Amino acid sequence: MRTRGWPDPDSGSPWAKDVTGIEGDVLLVSQFTLYGRLKKPKPDFSKAMGPDRAQEVYQNFVDRMRAAYVPERVHDGVFGAMMNVELVNDGPVTFILDSGHQGH
């Protein structure tokens, strides 16, 4: 929520505003099942978190995001469902946030 990824429209200063500063919306997409590796010719998800615990962790994250911002601006899909997500990547960069690489 505090990553400054947008310019200030008044000063033109890059990297000046976070999502709250531009009053943007947040889309959360669960990707627990994407933690897989190729084992032989098919994917293996044995190292992924189990679905019940994963849903609990994901819902906790959604709740925390809504508590930290305007709840109506935080959107999510249906956990475990097939979803088609389209987006327009507005900017010169994509941020990849990975909790397994803290401090880097």
Helix or strand (DSSP H, E) at 39: strand 37-39
Catalytic-labelled residue, pool 3, 20, 33, 94: 33
- In sign, the C-alpha dihedral spanning 45, 46, 49, 51 is positive
**How many angstroms separate the CA atoms of 86 and 84, rounded?**
7
94 is catalytic: no
Helix or strand (DSSP H, E) at 56: helix 51-68
**How many angstroms separate the CA atoms of 60 and 55, rounded?**
8
Which residue numbers are catalytic? Answer: 33
